[in-house]
Structure 1
Amino acid sequence: METINLSSRQKEIIELVKHHGPITSEQLASKVGVTRAALRPDLAILTMTEILEARPKVGYIYSKKPASSLVYDYLRKIKVKDVMSKPVTVDEQTTVYNAIVNLFLNDVGTIFVENKGCLVGAVSRKDFLKTAIGGTDINKVPVGIIMTRMPNIIYVDAEDSVYVAAKKIIEREVDSLPVVEKIPKENEDKIKVIGKLSKTNITRLFVKMNEND
């Protein structure tokens, strides 16, 4: 069994729980300086690896167990391809309006943008909100204008472990990551989106693990 390499924020959470537990997620979020939503993946990992215990109507307490467990070992063996879901994609020339429609019809937080079938960017609800508030004509402007472009998109491979993907989601504070495969080209490799790994996928995995236990 390997020792878990905790992020700096996870270590901070543990110390806060040690000194202030039992402590609620709201109180932790306030002390760390982030939202409850941003803290949720960290708390999920810390409780599922049995470092913290979550007690209903009480809060989180330190379990005093070592930072390693069968759960962690299990997570490292599960591949992204085993839990990923279907991605929502649009072409780079799709209007912002139509991209927003796709976002809500598919009930996702992020849409991945393609050009000739290859990943070129991503756009989130926050990006759409900023654009709408800014007075941009969303019926005319293509989504490619407002998206975050490659190579600034963090992605995972289908063969990566779920734990690696979860760490990337936490560190980058995003709601999902594109799952990709590389397509060899003459000058440079192109990247094709084949799936999506989100906080929801990971949460469902935790629930399934608990039910199996």
Structure 2
Amino acid sequence: MKRHAPITGEQLAEYLGVSRPTLRSDLSLLVMLGLLDAKPKVGYFLGNTYRSSGEPLQQFHALKVKEVQGVPVNVPDSLSVHDAVITLFTENADTLLVVNDQKRFVGIVTPKDLLKITLGNTGSAAIPVSMVMTRYPNIVTLMPDDSVMDAIRKMSLHQVDCLPVIMSREEQAADPEVTGWVSKSNIIRMMADFAAAGELEEPE
């Protein structure tokens, strides 16, 4: 933004390799926080909060995933699709992390996965989530010592709202241990808290 401003939403989406609708809510929040300003038919540019405080996002370069990750909603791979739907609602979760009997990470289940299997399939409720989940290692993940900026880049590149945090595997064949997750809403909420507290300032 600093390099190319003013820049339109379409241009920004092209630079990041994502669709314009993917960025819409994020850009709206950044404008609301004062980190960006927007002018119709002109585009986005750095906002008053950003200019007055120097480099407010500089702090994110020092933040590690382990400092911001949340507690994951883990479910066993034997859980039924019916119970998975209930868990999504009761836990207010967008994604369920699936673990095996040894509590090792084996996959994820999203509302879209559950919708696909249940539409027009009267017997789908009894199917275990292991039959509908996206399996590891075909999942983008984070490590605890990755930076928050790495998490943001991965979310943007792969157009996902949540990334599991796993411990490194001692050997390639073993399933990893899941320690948490990082969501887009979690990061945006943290940015809002920083701005509200007046903490988005240039480090001395």
Structure 2 counterpart SS, 1:191: coil
How far residue 182 of structure 1 moved from its aligned partner, in angstroms, is 2.5
Q: What's the CA shift string for 1:54-107, capped at 9, x where partnerless?
A: 58x9996323999xx623321111111111111011111111111111111100
Name 2:112's counterpart in structure 1.
Answer: 126
Q: Give the match for residue 16 of structure 1.
A: 8
Distance 1:125 1:59 in 2: 37
Alignment coverage as a number of residue pairs = 188
Q: 1:124 to 1:189 in 2, by over 3 A?
A: same
Alpha-carbon contact 1:49-1:72 (below 8 Å) kept:
no
* Greater CA drift, 116-125 or 188-197: 188-197
State the AA in 2 paired with 1:43.
L
Aligned to 1:25: none
5+ unaligned residues in a row in structure 2: which ranges? 199-204
- Name the counterpart of 2:192: 207
Q: Which amino acid counterpart does residue 184 of structure 1 have in structure 2?
A: E
Give the residue type in structure 1 aligned to 2:190: L
User: Which stretch has the larger CA shift, 125-134 or 103-112?
Assistant: 125-134
Contact 2:161 2:183 in 1 (8 A): yes
Alignment pair present for 1:63 and 2:49: no
Q: Using the alignment, how far apart are the partners of 2:66 and 2:38 within structure 1?
A: 29
Query: How far apart, in 1, do the equivalents of 2:9 and 2:77 lie?
Result: 45
Q: Which whole-Å CA distance do the structure 2 matches of 1:136 and 1:155 have between them?
A: 33
Report what 1:100 is aligned to.
85
Q: How does 1:53-92 map to 2 (within 5 A)?
A: 53-54=37-38, 61-63=44-46, 70-92=55-77
**Structure 1 CA distance, aligned partners of 2:98 and 2:73?**
9
Percent of aligned pairs sharing the same letter = 29
* CA shift for structure 1 position 179: 0.9
Match of 1:151 in 2: 137
Instruction: Measure, in 1, the Cα distance between the counterparts of 2:161 and 2:41.
Output: 27
**Within 1, Cα distance between the matches of 2:134 and 2:89?**
19
CA, structure 1 residues 34+212, in 2 after alignment: closer, same or farther (shift >3 Å)?
same
Shift of 1:114: 1.0
SS in 2 for 1:190: coil
Relative to 1, partners in 2 of residues 1:117 and 1:142: Cα closer, same or farther, differing over 3 Å?
Answer: same
Greater per-residue strand proportion: 1
**Native 8 Å contact 1:96 1:142 kept in 2:** yes
Aligned-residue offset at 1:164:
0.8
CA RMSD in angstroms, aligned pairs only: 3.7
- CA change 1:131–1:209 in 2 (3 A) is same
**Structure 1: gaps of 5 or more residues:** 20-27
Is the aligned partner of 1:192 residue 2:177? yes
Partner of 2:121: 135
Pair 181,18 (structure 1): closer, same or farther in 2 beyond 3 Å: closer
> Relative contact order (alpha carbons < 8 A, sep ≥ 6): 1 or 2 greater?
2
2:179 & 2:19 partners in 1: Cα distance?
Answer: 31
- Conserved? CA contact 2:8–2:42, under 8 Å: no
TM-score by length of 1: 0.73
TM-score, normalised relative to structure 2? 0.76
Letter aligned with residue 39 of structure 1: L
